[in-house]
Amino acid sequence: MTLHRLREMRAQGEKITMLTCYDASFARLLDSCELDCLLVGDSLGMVLQGQSSTVPVTLDEMAYHTRCVARGNRHAWLLSDLPFGSYQESLDQCMRSSVALMQAGAQMIKLEGGGWTTEAVHFLTQRGIPVCAHLGLTPQSVHALGGYRVQGRDADGAATLRQHARELSEAGATMLVLELVPTALAAEITEANPQLITVGIGAGNVTAAQVLVLHDMLGITAGKLPRFVRNFMATGASIEQAVRLFVSEVKSGRFPDNGQHGF
């Protein structure tokens, strides 16, 4: 998979699939199921480390897991999260952190937030580092946002998200995760920014791509799952079958179903 091919898929209306991944064994399995993208997410703080949020995850930990996934991956496009505190201080810090993840095997880095991140996106993309932005519910800012709640419900919030998406696109971002935003707003942002590969998680089925946390879609996450998550192991006889079902359901447009998994 290449960035050029992902852009072609977006232009042609072919849905793009993505799951989080944290180790070489799962990378080999997911890659064999023909997933388009793997994301080494800082969600590992919760699903692997037992943390209450993504905030404690360090850059060294992200680089370690990125190396592990890169060793097992052969075909999928590989993204890696810049963790909390690794890019907010300065452009130089952002660059150093991005280089660490790219040298570990990432093909694209992901960072959270809009407005202040525009300069960082421009800085990185001008230096040959592909960037995936992230708007809506941004887990690294969960305390400032007041918890895990839908973003952009009111007119002011929706206008801010539209503006930030446009600015991030103009700054050079190629992908944009939209997490926990109303389906209608996700559709507006996707349509208004055709050069952006929008990636939905709790944003309905209107985005160019869909992503879920691996442990969530396998039904092994402790506690109550978000309403937008589907346990694909409930109908799959094996992990491989569950992943293949996820790929098939996203490609066909059957997942997510806006009636159950949109806002």
Residues annotated within a binding site: 42-43, 81, 110, 112
Q: Which residues of 63-72 are buried (b: 16+ CB within 10 A; e: fewer)?
A: bebbbbbbeb
| Residues that constitute the known binding site for 3-methyl-2-oxobutanoate | 42-43, 81, 110
| Residues that constitute the known binding site for Mg(2+) | 42, 81, 112
The answer to whether 6 and 176 have CB atoms below 8 angstroms apart is no
The answer to whether 80 and 101 have CB atoms below 8 angstroms apart is yes
Pairing of strands 131-136, 209-212: unpaired
Residue type for 173, please?
A
The answer to whether 216 and 189 have CB atoms below 8 angstroms apart is no
Active site residues: 179
What's the 3-state SS for 218-257? CCCCCCCCCCCCCCHHHCCCCHHHHHHHHHHHHHHCCCCC
